[in-house]
Structure 1
Amino acid sequence: MDQTAVAQANAALNIVHEIATLLDTGLDREEVAILIALVENGVNPEALAEVVKELRREAAALRAAEMDSRGL
């Protein structure tokens, strides 16, 4: 990839990350880049969104269970 293409890719990533921030997705720049790469490689965006939501639900449940086990 030449320098122009790299600069354009970074600019596009910055824009998408800014949109994700404005929409309060909770995704950082690296996570946005990973999701973009997955979509570019053929992953269905709706299915990917469902996976992200499910992972967040599971992470929250694990945190809650950990808090309960600590008596907090």
Structure 2
Amino acid sequence: AANDSKRRAARDTIDILDEISTLLNTGLDRQTLIYCVSLIENGVKPEALANVIQELRLQNER
């Protein structure tokens, strides 16, 4: 039951982040958000991650 509760909480968190991402028009899909959350939970600085995403988008536009 505790595992189910944790899974439900994680899913709810991703649902909320996905809604915020859509409202802010970030262009990040649900799976990318899951990867970002995982990276941040494992110690990656959010600002650094945002910079990498921006740089990748700039390179993709070239």
Task: Give me the identity figure in percent.
Answer: 43
1:19 matched to 2:20 = yes
Q: 2:55: which partner in 1? A: 54
* TM-score, length basis structure 2: 0.94
1:31 maps to a residue whose letter is: T
Gaps of 5+ in 1: 62-72
Q: How does 1:1-72 map to 2 (within 5 A)?
A: 2-61=3-62
Aligned length: 61
Gaps of 5+ in 2: none
Q: RCO greater where, 1 or 2, for CA within 8 Å and sep 6 or more?
A: 2
User: Larger Rg: 1 or 2?
Assistant: 1
* TM-score, length basis structure 1: 0.81
- Residues 40-72 of structure 1: per-residue CA shift (max 9 Å, x gap): 0000100110000000000111xxxxxxxxxxx
